[in-house]
Amino acid sequence: MDFPQFENKTGITFKDKNLLKQAFLHRSYLNENKGLKMDHNERLEFLGDAVLELVVTEYLYSKYPKKPEGDLTSYRAALVNTSTLSAVATELSMNDYLLLSKGEAKDTGRARQYILANTFESFVGALYLDQGYEQAKDFIAQNLFPLTDEIVEKGLWQDAKSRLQEIAQEKENTTPQYKTVQEIGPDHEKNFIVGVYLSDMEIAKGEGKSKQEAEQEAAQKALEARNWS
107: annotated active-site residue = no
Q: Of 32, 39, 42, 49, which one is the catalytic site residue?
A: 49
Those residues whose C-beta lies under 8 Å from the C-beta of residue 175, and which sit 6 or more positions away, are 165, 168, 169
Q: Of 45, 104, 121, 215, which one is the catalytic site residue?
A: 121
2: annotated active-site residue = no
Those residues whose C-beta lies under 8 Å from the C-beta of residue 217, and which sit 6 or more positions away, are 160, 194, 206, 207, 208
3-state SS, the chain, equals: CCHHHHHHHHCCCCCCHHHHHHHCECHHHHHHCCCCCCCCCHHHHHHHHHHHHHHHHHHHHHHCCCCCHHHHHHHHHHHCCHHHHHHHHHHCCHHHHCECCHHHHHCCCHHHHHHHHHHHHHHHHHHHHHHCHHHHHHHHHHHCHHHHHHHHHCCCCCCHHHHHHHHHHHHHCCCCEEEEEEEECCHHHCEEEEEEEECCEEEEEEEECCHHHHHHHHHHHHHHHCCCC
d(CA 85, CA 80): 6
Q: Which residues are catalytic?
A: 49, 121
